[in-house]
């Protein structure tokens, strides 16, 4: 019995080793076959690993009183002190409000524009004119944000081109860039001009996946262009729209603070100051790294909550989700 048991054990061990060798050989074969694809994948993987995941270790700063001389590990724990300090400051609610309003403006006006542009481009039949429009709308994306903001400040200054046009028609010049009520429209409209054409590429790619036979069948049934657009084109790209919307909602409190920094002035703090600019001032300029990390963590947690809820709603209603 003992010898038989030992023999069975030996056979099992050999089978396991052979199976492992088969798995390893299969992995090596697949890796060798697709080595160039894995090489291409390695670059973005390393980027996200080094600049997005490894720095997450620094989140512990939100619960510590960071001392540069002691480092992250040896700095004393303070628990929720920085969160309490942030929410006890009445100005924090103004920052949250400004950020939420700016994001809602972006979702209401900025998010639909690439979709509308893609749908309009898809309806064009003149190829040369279509390429001209596409190129014209793509180009602003490649202009540096600093240059774009410089153009905005220059055009909207007292002696800028906008006020010169106002003077030409008999009006009085207006300090657009200094008016708090005009900061949000300027921010959103300039963002649409710069990014709508580039983002529309995603929706144009989704449009190419729609079966052309559906349009032919609808035309035979008497559907006009508007009806085909509503009943075929829009439902065809709806999954892409939902994914893009989910990604935007995941950054609900994470507005582009760099653009705000380049555009806002002391006169527009009332509507322009957001969480991102506040974190920059406290964390970078004020060297209060622990407090800035706590505010940034709150910002990320809100985005996580929003994207989780929205993803669940999207999955239940449209069967489209990120996970």
- Structural domain spans, the chain: 2-59, 80-317
What are residue 53's DSSP bridge partners?
Answer: none
CA separation for the pair 110, 174 (Å, rounded) = 25
Q: What contacts 112, CB < 8 A, 6 or more positions away? A: none
pLDDT at 321: 76
Structure-token match 């639909």, residue found: 112
**pTM, entire model:** 0.82
Q: What is the DSSP letter of 316?
A: H
* pLDDT tens per residue across all 323 residues of the chain: 444 455 555 555 656 556 666 777 777 887 888 888 888 888 899 999 998 888 888 889 999 998 888 888 888 999 899 999 999 999 999 999 999 999 999 999 999 999 999 999 988 888 889 889 988 998 999 999 999 999 999 999 888 899 999 998 888 989 898 999 999 999 999 999 999 999 999 999 999 888 888 888 988 888 888 898 888 999 999 989 988 988 888 888 777 888 999 998 888 988 999 999 999 999 888 888 999 999 999 998 988 898 888 888 888 877 777 77
Cβ–Cβ < 8 Å for 237, 131: no
Q: What is the DSSP letter of 76?
A: P
Residues with Cβ within 8 Å of residue 132, at least 6 apart in sequence: none
Bridge partners for 64 per DSSP:
77
**Architecture in CATH of 80-317:** Orthogonal Bundle (1.10)
The dihedral of CA 107, 113, 116, 117: what is its sign? negative
Which among 303, 302, 322, 298 is positioned nearest to 312, based on CA atoms?
A: 322
Predicted local distance difference test score (pLDDT) of residue 193: 94
């Amino acid at each position: 019995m003992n010898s038989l048991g030992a023999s069975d054990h030996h056979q099992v061990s050999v089978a396991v080793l052979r199976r492992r060798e088969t798995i390893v050989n299969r992995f090596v074969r697949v890796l060798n076959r697709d080595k160039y694809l894995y090489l291409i994948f390695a670059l973005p993987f390393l980027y996200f690993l080094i600049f997005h995941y490894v720095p997450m270790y620094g989140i512990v700063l939100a619960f510590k009183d960071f001392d540069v001389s002691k480092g992250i590990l040896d700095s004393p724990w303070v628990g929720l002190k920085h969160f309490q300090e942030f929410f006890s400051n009445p100005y924090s609610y103004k920052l949250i409000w400004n950020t939420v309003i700016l994001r809602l403006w972006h979702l209401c006006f900025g998010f639909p524009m690439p979709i509308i542009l893609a749908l309009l481009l898809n309806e064009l039949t003149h190829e040369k004119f279509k390429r001209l429009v596409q190129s014209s709308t793509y180009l602003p994306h490649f202009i540096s944000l600093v240059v774009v903001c410089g153009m905005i400040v220059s055009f909207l200054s007292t002696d800028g081109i906008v006020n010169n046009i106002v003077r030409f028609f008999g009006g009085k010049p207006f300090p657009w860039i200094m008016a708090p009520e005009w900061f949000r429209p300027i921010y959103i409209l300039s963002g649409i001009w710069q990014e709508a054409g580039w983002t529309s590429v995603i929706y144009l790619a989704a449009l190419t996946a729609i079966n052309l036979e559906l349009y032919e069948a609808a035309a035979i049934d008497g559907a006009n262009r508007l009806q085909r657009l509503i009943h075929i084109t829009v439902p065809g790209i709806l999954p892409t729209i939902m994914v893009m919307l989910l990604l935007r909602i995941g950054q609900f409190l994470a507005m582009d603070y760099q653009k705000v920094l380049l555009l806002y002035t002391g006169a527009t703090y009332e509507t322009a100051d957001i969480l991102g600019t506040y974190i920059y001032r406290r964390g970078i300029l004020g060297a209060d790294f622990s407090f800035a990390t706590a505010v940034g963590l709150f910002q990320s947690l809100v985005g996580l909550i929003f994207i989780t809820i929205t993803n669940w709603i999207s999955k239940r209603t449209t069967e489209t989700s990120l996970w």
